[in-house]
Structure 1
Amino acid sequence: GPVGGPGGWGHGWGGPPPAAKPGVIPLRPLGVGEILDGAVSTMRTYWRTILGISLTVAVITEVIGVLVQGLALDSGNTAILEDPDATLSELTGVLGDLMLGSVVLYVIVLLGTVAATALLTTVTSRAVLGRPVTLGEAWRDARPQLLRLLGLMCLLLLITAAVVTVGALPGLLVGLAGGGGGAAIALTVLGLLGAAVVAVWLMVRFSLSSAALMLEKQGIVKALSRSAKLVRGAWWRVFGIQVLAALLSGLVASIIVIPFTLIASAFSGDGVTGFLESAGGNFGWTFLIISGIGSVIGRTITFPITAGVTVLLYIDQRIRREALDLDLARAAGLHGPGPDATPGG
């Protein structure tokens, strides 16, 4: 539009015209409320596709989780752990089984998160342009990047583990060298606190890397550097919005999960304490299954919101840094013919 004088928009114009909104967000720099609203609107508009994705992933991960935990209860593991006469080999075997179960569960959750993130990123990018997308289309678009996304998430986990290890190391070394117990503990705690700060700083800096990897079809290292570049100078804003989204999701999940946990406790006979004490009985399975249903519903609703916020934050930072809104408007066909692009294009 025309610009009135050196001061920007002239008084006679009454401010800039409203930004075009072909999809779930206006194509201009976004406020916090608009990012959260965009994530919820995406879920409302594309609920069949989105709930199909998140429900499938939540059910698969939860069923495996319930089986792993239930089998751990049924095998009498907890009874051995509480037995003062148990031999070292028995205890080691039990702990090994529990560790294996945890690893299996963690790997399944990680794979589920990768698949859901990839698909939801694709759906949200189409939602910005107001384009419909089926589950099949989202899968075809996301599939080539799945292995890279898995690699990216594993790398982020390794970075976090490395930072925590480095933080704890001085205190552990002092303890091993026979230094004062108090000094070793204090040093370890300080090291872990420092490591936590560094880890949070890095994770926020790299928090847009999954969106960069999926939408720009980037490699792992390039996606990390893209995220760092987009977050630079806006760390606190990105951190604040991600925390707000996590708190909202946690609140919604609690509202759903807590009633199911209470119902599960009631059905398991003696309440929560009874469930914990009755290792391997029917109570354990009943509690796990009912609370698991609550967990599935909670995750189905909340995961798309946090995933959507990350994608919209990424798009918002690119609008602010790289005038992506102009490309998006062209792609949505608002300024004449343009490339058939998504926000990564």
Structure 2
Amino acid sequence: MNDTPGWASPGSAPPDGPEPGASGPTEPTDGSGPAQPADQPGTDPSGTGPQWSKEQPPPAQWSAPTGAPGPGQAPPPPPGPGWGGGHPGGPAGPGGYGGPGGYGAPGWGAGWGGPPPAAKPGVIPLRPLGVGEILDGAVSTMRTYWRTVLGISLTVAVVMQTIVVLVQGFAFSDLSSTSALDDPNASASEVTRAMSEAFLSTGVVYLVALIGTVIATALLTAVTSRAVLGKPVTATEAWRDARPQVLRLFGLICLLILMAIALIGIPTVPGIIVAVTGSQDGGIALAVIGGLAGCVVTLWLAIRFSLASPALMLEKQGIVKSMSRSAKLVRGSWWRIFGIQLLAQIIASILSSILVIPFAFIAGVLSGDGLSGLVNGTGDVGWTFLIISGLGAVIGRMISFPITAGVTVLLYIDQRIRREALDLDLARAAGVQDYGTAAPGPTPGS
């Protein structure tokens, strides 16, 4: 007998055997079968078995009793909050399958609000992060610790740009000196002088930019790692944490740059040889194909080793070990990390350009021959142009450094949370009580 309320289907057969509580004398049917109550309605006295009453409701019209309880009957208890009603598509009715208090209303799962949210002692929640959370964490670090972050970025950018302006002002101020490179009638001495000036200026600028990037990355890595724990940090504390690893970080970046130069340059050598000794067009085509192949390999390795810098700074690893750690963390997530890094670079470049371009335009207007002289290459890049454009470059770097460094550090932390449960260690370091006893909240899009 199915005694589950609301689940007995209409028109089902009556239960076998006498109903509980049936009373009255019984008499045998034919002496061989069980006795039947003499006064049972619907029983044929001839002994042919039970028959249906002629007064039955129409088929498929059964319904649960909804009237008031009879005398001596207690009212039914109200539906509990667990088996609630309101299942979409179910029949409505008080206490029924789909009505208030029924099977699918807000009661069945309303008390369970999902897993608790992850702890967030700092700028990010301690769980696997989505793309927006990584970008927001970098911006939140810059906004929350703006004195330290912008102070570091501004100091490094000012020192960098001052050296660049001095080098360009004394060694590369005259744009007309490079015209010998485009003049087919220029003498060998003029070409040599123009090339030496170009290489000197470009080399010094890139070296200064490299050193400034290393220092800014080291300091901002320390700041971001503290920001994840919600702990305040000053520039002095960040330098104290980063100083032992600065030389290793410089060596790491130099090694990666040399690898990129080798990977792009070596595949072009066969094409250059062919162009010099044989077919010039075929050699150029071969060199271009080799260079493109080298660029693809360089890009792949650049993303593969993109987390080596925070691994070196935060784990106090050596150069080779940090590269190995980065390759392990990136494995299986190359496209995701590439997309996030590219998005961060685009955002930083756009913000930097918005600030740099107006200064460059003003500097061009105030220079000796105006914008036309700069465009035609006949003007003199004077101190006015260098100083004004340098101010724009300082502001641009001050904004771009925290974004790119912050995204890289948060990507490193996110990958370690996904692979090594780093969130447990971070929670203990941040002083979060009873972390890890409940399931973390859902992860947004990654």
> What TM-score do the two structures reach when normalised by structure 1?
0.89
1:288 aligns with 2:396: no
Partner of 2:414: 316
Distance 2:194 2:277 in 1: 32
Question: For residues 255 and 74 of structure 1, what CA distance do their matches in structure 2 show?
Answer: 25
User: Matched residues in 2 for 1:208 and 1:67: separation?
Assistant: 34
C-alpha distance in structure 2 between counterparts of 1:182 and 1:279, whole Å: 33
- Whether 1:44 and 2:140 are equivalent positions in the alignment is no
More divergent stretch after superposition (321-330 vs 92-101): 92-101
Q: Which residue of 1 aligns with 2:270?
A: 170
Aligned counterpart for 1:301 among listed residues 391, 395, 399: 399
Structure number with greater CO (CA < 8 Å, separation at least 6) is 1
CA distance in 1, matches of 2:287, 2:307: 31
Question: Is the 8 Å Cα contact of residues 129 and 332 (structure 1) preserved in structure 2?
Answer: yes
Is the partner of 2:431 in helix, strand or coil? coil
Q: Alpha carbons of 1:204 and 1:80: their partners in 2 closer, same or farther (altered >3 Å)?
A: closer
- The amino acid across from 2:336 in the alignment is R
- Structure 1 unaligned segments of length 5 or more: list them: 1-9, 338-345
For normalisation by structure 2, the TM-score amounts to 0.69
Of residues 58-67 and 140-149 in structure 1, the stretch that sits farther from structure 2 once superposed is 58-67
Alignment correspondent of 2:297 = 198
The equivalent of 2:133 in structure 1 is: 34
Task: Report the alpha carbon displacement of residue 287 of structure 1 after superposing the two structures with TM.
Answer: 1.4
How many Å apart are 1:94 and its aligned residue?
Answer: 3.6
Instruction: Determine if the alignment matches structure 1 residue 161 to structure 2 residue 270.
Output: no
- Asked if 1:64 is matched to 2:163, the reply is yes
Matched, 1:92 2:192: yes
Identify the residue that residue 189 of structure 1 maps to in structure 2: 288
Report how far residue 13 of structure 1 moved. 3.0
Judge which range, 209-218 or 246-255, deviates more.
Answer: 246-255
Q: Residue 117 of structure 2 aligns to a residue in which SS?
A: coil
CA distance in 2, matches of 1:302, 1:128: 20
Write the deviation string for residues 6-27 of structure 1: whole angstroms up to 9, x where unpaired.
xxxx965332110000000000
Alpha-carbon offset, residue 67 of structure 1: 1.6
1:138 aligns with 2:138: no
DSSP-derived class of the 1:13 partner: coil
**CA 1:307–1:76: 2 relative to 1, 3 Å:** closer
In structure 2, how many angstroms separate the alpha carbons of the residues matched to 1:79 and 1:191?
A: 29
In the aligned structure 2, how far is the partner of 1:77 from the partner of 1:50? 40
Q: Which moved more, 1:287-296 or 1:308-317?
A: 287-296
Q: Which whole-Å deviations, capped at 9, do the CAs of 1:43-70 have from their partners, x for residues lacking one?
A: 0111111111111111111111112122
User: Relative to 1, partners in 2 of residues 1:31 and 1:74: Cα closer, same or farther, differing over 3 Å?
Assistant: closer
Post-superposition CA distance 1:267-310 (Å, at most 9, x none): 125432223567674x6321121111111101101111000000
Partner of 2:222: 122
Q: Which residue of 1 aligns with 2:210?
A: 110
Higher alpha-carbon deviation: 219-228 or 269-278: 269-278
Q: Relative to 1, partners in 2 of residues 1:276 and 1:162: Cα closer, same or farther, differing over 3 Å?
A: same
Structure 2 unpaired stretches of 5+? 1-107, 436-446
Contact 1:74 1:280 in 2 (8 A): no
| Whole-angstrom CA distance in 2 between matches of 1:119 and 1:157 | 21
Structure 2 residue 260 is matched with structure 1 residue 260: no
Say what the alpha-carbon RMSD is for the aligned residues: 2.2
Moved more, 228-237 or 249-258: 249-258
Identical columns (%):
65
Of 169-178 and 104-113, deviating more is 169-178
Q: Residue type of the partner of 2:348? A: S
Residues 218 and 336 (structure 1 numbering): CA distance in 2 closer, same or farther, change over 3 Å?
same
Q: Is the 8 A contact 2:368 2:379 kept in 1?
A: no
Distance in 2 between the 1:239 and 1:164 partners? 20
1:66-114 residue CA offsets vs partner (Å, 9 max, x unmatched): 1212223446861773777753224313422332232222211111111
Equivalent residue letter for 1:87: S
Aligned residue in 2 for 1:213: 312
Q: Does 1:222 align with 2:321?
A: yes
Q: Compared with structure 1, are the counterparts of its residues 169 and 95 closer, same or farther at alpha carbon in structure 2 (3 Å cutoff)?
A: closer
Q: Tell me the secondary structure at the aligned position of residue 382 of structure 2.
A: helix
Paired with 2:432 and 2:178, the residues of 1 have a C-alpha distance of 67
Which stretch has the larger CA shift, 99-108 or 87-96? 87-96
Instruction: Confirm whether residue 334 of structure 1 aligns to residue 432 of structure 2.
Output: yes
Q: Secondary structure at the match of 1:152?
A: helix
